[in-house]
Amino acid sequence: MNNSDYLKIYDSLEVIKNFNAATQLCIDPSTDRLYTVKRCDISMLNVFEPLTGRILPNIPPVRHVSEKNGYIEVMSDYVSGTPLCDVLTQYGSIPEKQAVSYALDICTALESLHGMNIIHRDVNPNNVVITYDGHAVLIDYGIAREFKDGRPKDTVILGTPGYAAPEQFGFAQSDAKTDIYALGVLLNVMITGAGPDIKVTEGYYGRVVERCISIDAAKRYGSASALKKALKKHGADFKEKAEHFFSLVPGVRTKNPFLIFVSIVGHAFLIHYFATVMKNNFQTVGPGEQDNSLFGMIGYSLFQLFLYASFYTFAFNPANVWQYLPLKNSKPWVRRFVFTLIALTFLSLLFRSVNG
C-alpha cells in the first residue's frame, strides 16, 4: 500500500486503548489490524519522515505521519509480544545466550537508524518488545533525534536514568555511540539483572559491556556493526564451534544420553584398539631390522589407518559424509546396507593385516 492508502486507514482508525497521554492503540475496523498512534513534537518530523514507508529489520514500520497544530501524529504497526521490562521483572535476568541474541537484534535495528543519521537515545527494557517468535524489536522514538555534524551538544537533556550516556547530560552531542552505551547497559542488565554500576557480568561479555559504557565515547565501539561483530565473535569462537564439532560426531549428535554414552565407550575402544595395533607394529621389528624397516612400518601403519578411517566413515557416517558418496539419492536402507557391506570388507582386511 502507498501513503494515500495509509492516510485512509489513519482517518478511519478507532482508539481501543490509551497507553499514555501521547500514545494510543488503534484498530482498523475494515481489517482488524492494530496500529499505534503517537503524538510527538513537530521537531520530530525529520526523524519520522525518513522512516515512513520503509520496512527495516527489528523496527516497527512507520506507515503514516500526519501534521497537526504544532505537533505530528505517527502511525506505526503494533508489535505483538512481551515488553522486555516485563520479562526482566518476572525472571530478574535471562540466559546469556538469549540476552546476546536480543542484543544482536537491537544492533540490527540501530544499524538501520544510524545509517539514516537517526539516534534513538532511549534504548532500555521499556522500549524493547520480544515478539512471539523470539526476536527483539526496538520501539518508541519519542526522544530520537537527527545527528547534526558540528553541533557541540544536545539542546535538550533527555534519556532514561542508568541507560543515558554522559553526553546526554549536556557534555556533548548524542551520536551512534550514545546508543552503544545504552545497549551495553541493557546487555548487562539482561545477563545479571543489575546495572553495571552494581555488578558487571563476568568473562568475555563483561569486557564487551565495559567497552560499551566507557565514559570516553572514543573508547566505545565505533558503530552498531562493530558491536554486532564483537557479540558474534565470542559465540563463533567457543560455543558455536564446540556445538558444531559435537554435531558431527556419531552418537553424540543424537543428544540421546544412552547413545552418547555408547558413543563415548565405542570411540574410546576404537582409539585404544588402533593405538595398540600401531604399538604392536613397531614392537615386532627386531633390533637389527629397526632402521631398514622403519619406513616400511610407517607405510604399513598408514595403510591400516586408511582401513580404519574407511570403516569408520562407511559404518557411522561422521560429519554426514554419506551425502558426498555414490548412492546419495537412493533410499536410506539401501545406502546403509551397501556402506555397511563395504565397511565389513575393510574391517576383515584390517583384521587380516593385524593377524599377519
pLDDT at 350: 58
Q: Which DSSP symbol is given to 19?
A: S
Weakest mean pLDDT among 120-124, 149-153, 226-230, 257-261? 149-153
Distance CA 32, CA 13 (A): 10
Helix (H) or strand (E) run with residue 136 in it: strand 136-138
Distance CA 155, CA 41 (A): 14
Kindly provide the b/e burial profile for residues 208-239, where b requires at least 16 CB atoms within 10 angstroms of the residue's own CB. Answer: bbbbbbbeebeebbebbbebbebbeebbeeee
Helix (H) or strand (E) run with residue 65 in it: strand 62-67
Q: What is the pLDDT of residues 110-151, one digit of tens each?
A: 999 999 999 998 999 999 999 999 999 999 875 544 434 444
Q: What is the pLDDT of residues 269-300, one digit of tens each?
A: 777 766 776 666 655 555 544 444 556 666 66
Q: What is the pLDDT of residues 306-336, one digit of tens each?
A: 766 766 666 666 656 655 656 555 566 666 6
Helix (H) or strand (E) run with residue 72 in it: strand 71-77
For cell 558540528, name the residue.
Answer: 150
Is residue 75 within 8 A of residue 36, CB to CB? The reply is yes
Domains of the chain: 3-77 (3.30.200.20), 81-243 (1.10.510.10), 251-354 (no CATH)
Per the structure block, which three cell numbers stand in for 222?
Answer: 565505533
Question: Please, how many CA atoms are within 13 Å of residue 125, restricted to the half-sphere of its CB?
Answer: 24
